[in-house]
Amino acid sequence: MWFEKLRGLVKNSWRIALIGVLFTSLGVALIARAAYHQLYPIQQAFLQNAGDNRAIRTITISANRGMFLDRNGEPIAVSAPVISFWANPTILVNYEHYYKDIAESLDIPYAKFVSLIESRKDKKFVWLKRQLIPEQSRALLRLNIPGIHQEREYRRYYPDAEVTSHILGFTDIEDQGQDGLERTFNDLLQGKNGSKRVLRDQRDRIIEEIEIINEPLAGENITLTIDRRLQYLAYRALKTAVLENNATAGSLILADAKTGEILALVNQPAGNPNDRAQRKSELLKNRVVTDVFEPGSIIKPFVVATALETGLWRPHTMIETGSGAMPLGKHMIRDVGRNGLIDVTKAIVKSSNIAMVKISQTFPPQKLYDTYKSLGIGQKSGLKFTGEQAGYLGNVKAWNKNSFEYATKTFGYGITINTLQMAQMYAVLANDGVYKPLHIKKDKPLFDDTHRVMSQKTAHEVVTMLEAVVGKGGSGRRAAVPGFRVGGKSGTARKVINGHYSNSVHRAFFAGIAPISNPRYVLVIVIDEPSAGKYYGGLVGAPIFSEVMGGALRLLGVRPDEIPDLPKLKLISKEQSR
């Protein structure tokens, strides 16, 4: 009995204890909940305030654009670090007392600055001024104004200014290529921007750089075939000639026929791409590839080359040109003078239209057409220059139907080429009759279409004729370079004005090769609308050839063909010198 009472008492005590624990736990929970509700607003306010005061952001790290280098490793286009300023108007509007200081530091008219900020006061971003050199940015940086931020960018700089402007083109304010090779090779040059995480305070200032997410990758440097020394030489000579001849424009290209490398390429007029105000189409137009024209007498050596390839003609084969006029259907073919009976070489020296027509009548038009096409007439070069024109060759059917139409093609009318194509054509002669595409990227040309146009024998015979043109009595004698054997061909073409050939507006040409003893370098000059009294290619273009080719051969270390006699020296003894 007493055992049962004891067991019941113990059992009730356990229940009482359990109930006590439960009530105690409930009380603690109620107290904790009450405390949480009392403290949470304070904690929430703290966290909210911290969130308002700091923010993690991801920002861009600009990549450095690759450089352009000349063939000797000299930089001709570089990107220099600059500072650009932007503002967060939602913050800056609270600091109006700084407006005057900001405007003065950035050289912005005060009224214009105020208008800029007020018109965007609900925005978080607006550019203030971009691409300042570090010296120009220091004054504003020292002020440490809330809402004003700096960003590192790059600005393109061209050390040679207008001398290389037509080759390189230029970039826009975002450092993206817009013209010239800057545009052609933009994907290689631009690199890849990086990014990083930063911590900003409530005034939007960076207070900590947390981590680099992606390192920026610099763009690729590109080495060109251009020789900076030769580029300067060519630029000065062409500019002087255009001014002296009161011409509207001019172009010049110098190339190595054996390698296909373009060594110099210049145009007039020219502009400085470092000055945005000079980035005008009329100043930066690359006329070497954009301007097409009828080549005139420059084409005649290739008519002769076609004839020599048939085996029917040799350099000393005779041709009767008569008194300088030859009827052809309803038209009259004329020479400048009366040449009478001359051989093929003399026909080139005298630039006889009648001789070219008579030669061409001995083979079908298709042969001449094929020669012109194989030389690249009517086709783009593949250099991918902005605005390049292919020229015009037309359809051989018209040549077959109309004898006069065919005849005009032998003295350079009815077809069009550009200066680059003219250089390419003469490079074939200098390269033993092999067409090797001219290129401007040093390490790896963009294309390769090497093919034979004529036999080595024919090329050598035509080059020898070109030397005669520059010899005594030749129309190109002013192209002579003292100490070197050179050859070339002058040309003059009337321009079409209002649908008709003008008798007073011309283009003057000269294309030449040096040295004849080992043909390698080709130089072509085009002067547009010379109007200072001379307009023939032999008078206007030939002297430029002499100056530029002479300087180039010396700079390139080419051994002269003729070494001038040194003055005789007489040794003087010590006794005599006293």
Looking at the annotation, which residues are catalytic? 297
Asked whether the beta carbons of 264 and 455 are under 8 A apart, the reply is no
User: Which amino acid makes up residue 56?
Assistant: I
CB within 8 Å of 352: residues ≥ 6 apart: 319, 321, 335, 339, 342, 346
CA distance 315 to 311: 11
Rounded alpha-carbon distances, angstroms, from residue 81 to 78, 153, 155:
10, 6, 6
Q: Which is nearest to 449 in space by CA: 459, 435, 433?
A: 435
Residues ≥6 apart with Cβ < 8 Å to 316: 343, 344, 345
CA atoms within a 13 Å half-sphere pointing along the CA-CB vector of 55: 9
Beta bridge partners of 151: 84
How far apart, in Å, are the Cα atoms of 180 and each of 255, 268, 490, 507, 551? 19, 16, 29, 25, 27
Angular region, 107: left φ>0, alpha ψ -120 to 50, beta rest: left
**Alpha-carbon torsion angle 460, 461, 467, 469, nearest 10:** -140
Beta strands in 158-204 (DSSP E): 170-171, 177-179, 194-200
Burial 162-190 (b: 16+ CB within 10 A, else e): bbbbbbbbbbeeebebbbbbbbbbbeebb
